[in-house]
Chains A and B, each alone.
Chain A
Amino acid sequence: MRLVYPLLVSALLFSIGVYGVLARRNAILVLMSVELMLNAVNLNLVAFDVWLGDGLRAGQVFALYIITIAAAEIGLGLAIILLVFRNRQTSDVDALRELGEYEHDRLVEEAAEAEQAIPRQAVREQAAAQ
């Protein structure tokens, strides 16, 4: 089999993964796209390993390890996304802008509006406590 085929598939998968990482708004979909990229890399490694006939099987072993790490990473990534969702009630990546240059002013404004929201919350909490 021509080596070019797996390499082509891998290249296309990688590019599609890049698109997904950059364009998707839901954080979980971004993770999925990252998985795509990792898989493309795996395919590349396996194809080269088989082509070279490596005695140490470095390519395939590396691919196995990548699968392992990807699993660990997905677990932690999802935990983080869950936390973010808990705090923000959203998993929209576009909403996570604290490091933006003009975010501080926007957040101060929002916190000032939140000031009005808190007394309502306090009333509700007291009503719930009684």
Chain B
Amino acid sequence: MRAYAGLLPAIPFLAAAVGLLFGPRFPRLVAPLAVYATGAALVLSLPIWWLARDGVVVETTRELTPTGAFPITVGTRVDGLAAVVAVMVCAVALAVQVYSTQYLHGDRRYSSYAALVSLFTAAMLTVVLSGDLIVLLIGWEVMGICSYFLIGHYWEQDWVQGAAVKAFVMTKLGDVPFLFGIFVLAADAGSFRIGDVLETAQTGQLEHATLATLLLLGGVVGKSAQFPLHSWLPDAMAGPTPISALIHAATMVAAGMYLVARLYPAFAVATATLAVLGVIAAITMVGSAVAAFAQDDIKRVLAYSTVSQLAYMGGALAVGAVGASMFHLLTHGAFKALLFLCAGAVIHVVGTNSLRALGGLRAAMPITFVTMTLGLAALVGIPPLAGFFSKEAILTAAEHVMAGEPAVEGAPLPAAWVGGLVLVAGLVTVVLTTAYCTRLWLMTFLGSRRAGVVAAVAEESGVAQPSADESAITGSQPAHTGSPAVGAAHDPPPAMSWTLVALAVPTVLLGFFGLSAILLPKWLPGGEAGAGHPALVPGLVTSLISVGAIAAIGWYVYRRWAADPVADLADAFLGRYRAVVEDGFGIDRLYNRLFVRPTYALAHAIQRTDDDVVDASVRGSGTGARALGAVLRRVQTGNVQTYLTGILVGALVVGLSVAAAAR
């Protein structure tokens, strides 16, 4: 059965091809095609997942054509991690497809959207299941291009185009070292197959492990939006909200961390890379959590939150806790997708993204309220929701490493300071996460509606993006022009609200599956092979500290809010630094000065060179010919005596030459 895992990406790919080719002609078939294809992929992934619990790695390879020195093979490598992540991808994709049927109902580009989402699903499954690094790279890049297309769904607006291009360029910037990392790995292992690479790493024959993994880290940083290539993710919120849920929360951005886990034996040998990853994770964790607190757009809060949670996964990988990291990936996939879809419901119904225009939606949107509360609680890490378990597993591992023991038995042991750094950053981020989640929750659902400021918000919101992103485009359709007037809020239509409920289930329950070693940990990678899969149990000390911090900060923020329900808490806490923090600490402006402007200057210089040097030479040849002709034309004076002079001089010269030659 697992040998047929290659079908898993093939089904959505076919659906995408059919959808792109025939979608516009048969618009009524688009939604069923997308939903059923993804559903079929999910159904197929379940038995594969079930079979993978035995820990045996099943590989299929086939070489299609000879490709020179290192053969590129097509095939799958199904181990436990791949199987369980494949299930998550299919499940979230299905939820998003179902949700989109309602969210984008009446959108004139729905058919291409659905097809691109299917294509994306196929690409992500390729990355998850591929047994060959080059095929994985293909899936990686196809994901990037689908992300570009989908972010740019509402491309009529300039800032949307800019966001799409920015996302694409920044991730591709990370993909260049990624490509070279693959080359180095393949050169050391003698083949592109992941199996061969892992075997080479495990037998200690990977000579350039540090170099290769550092290069790979470039791609991870780009794809998973870690510092310094993180600023594309908040801007990517220009795309439709289901896309933000699927691509920029649950799956694509997680692919970077997934890759590290997949190739972990290579990373385990390169302790320097793990240390670098730890530092990056720590910086990203804290910085993006602070930035999330200052955002006005509900989706940007969640975007920065995603960056922060991905850093958690990175930190876990840095301390050697691969299982905990992947556990967090799974739970994060569930609750972050849930959060985004809830935000989408709010936006869809109310018509604005801006927190300043929300408030008091608890009574009007009960289902959304409950599910979003569950999601936010999971994100913060409140027991007994899933986020608590996964986050605590990470913090516990970091604590172990700080104390000098490996995170789990058989895991690599990084330096103790890495563990300390990850632990401290993680705890600080718990505090910050509580703060911004509480702010988000309070400003959206509690209190009363800040409806009166909608008009002012629409005018003056130029910081990130206009307040109602989608309604400006699909203005003629009723779906998104839900009037922002008071009293118009209601729960979203069933296709959307039932999806929210469906995603709330793993949000609540998934954490418990990590508690016993015979449950979820069977699929997750543990320490050395044969060391058994450790249970993902929260450690006592870190759990107490975390819960205590959550309670304290949550209470404090609530108190500040209750003092002035209408005001924005970010202003209260950050004061005059709010604008800088909301802008992402000015990173984008720095990049603009460092990279964008010199590139523009170079482009202008090249254009000017092309105009003034190259073109001028071409034009100059014509001008020169004309000038030469003008000079020669001066000989035509019209004076007969001048002509005669010329003739006689010529005759004399000829005569003299003949005489001289005859001599």
* A adjacent to B, CB under 8 Å: yes
What is the total of A-B residue contacts with beta carbons within 8 Å?
A: 35
User: Which listed residue (A21, A22, A93, A101) contacts B636, Cβ 8 A?
Assistant: A101
Whether a CB of chain B sits under 8 angstroms from the CB of A56 is no
Q: Which residues of B contact A100 (CB under 8 A)?
A: 636-639
A97 and B645 within 8 A (CB): no
Distance between Cα atoms of A96 and B640 in the complex (Å): 8
Whether a CB of chain B sits under 8 angstroms from the CB of A18 is yes
Distance between Cα atoms of A103 and B633 in the complex (Å): 11
Taking the closest CB of chain A, its distance from the CB of B39, in whole angstroms, is 84
Q: Which residues of A contact B634 (CB under 8 A)?
A: 101
Q: Which residues of A contact B648 (CB under 8 A)?
A: 18, 22
Q: Which partner residue on chain A sits nearest B640 by CB separation?
A: A93
Total interface residues on A, using CB and 8 Å? 15
Distance between Cα atoms of A23 and B644 in the complex (Å): 10
Whether a CB of chain B sits under 8 angstroms from the CB of A125 is no
Q: Which residues of B contact A30 (CB under 8 A)?
A: 641
A99 and B638 within 8 A (CB): yes
Q: Which residues of B contact A98 (CB under 8 A)?
A: 638
Distance between Cα atoms of A21 and B643 in the complex (Å): 11
A22 and B639 within 8 A (CB): no
Given contacts A101-B633, A101-B634, contact A93 B639 (CB under 8 A): yes
Q: Which residues of B contact A101 (CB under 8 A)?
A: 633-638
Distance between Cα atoms of A101 and B643 in the complex (Å): 13
Whether a CB of chain B sits under 8 angstroms from the CB of A105 is no
- Interface residues as binary, B599-640 with A (CB distance below 8 Å gives 1, 0 otherwise): 000000000000000000000000000000000011111111
Taking the closest CB of chain B, its distance from the CB of A114, in whole angstroms, is 19
Taking the closest CB of chain A, its distance from the CB of B9, in whole angstroms, is 76
Distance between Cα atoms of A103 and B634 in the complex (Å): 11
Distance between Cα atoms of A102 and B641 in the complex (Å): 17
Distance between Cα atoms of A21 and B639 in the complex (Å): 12
**Residues 87-114 of A at the B interface (beta carbon under 8 Å):** 93-94, 96-103
Q: Which partner residue on chain A sits nearest B630 by CB separation?
A: A101
User: Which listed residue (A18, A23, A97) contacts B638, Cβ 8 A?
Assistant: A97
A99 and B636 within 8 A (CB): yes
Most A CB contacts (10 A, CB to CB) among B635, B636, B637, B638 go to B638
Given contacts A18-B648, A22-B648, contact A97 B639 (CB under 8 A): yes
- Please provide the 10 A-B residue pairs with the shortest distance between their CB atoms, ordered closest to farther: A100-B638, A97-B638, A101-B636, A101-B633, A99-B638, A22-B641, A100-B637, A22-B645, A103-B638, A100-B636
9 extra A-B contacts, CB within 8 A, seeds A18-B648, A100-B638: A21-B641, A22-B644, A22-B648, A93-B640, A93-B641, A94-B641, A97-B637, A99-B636, A100-B636
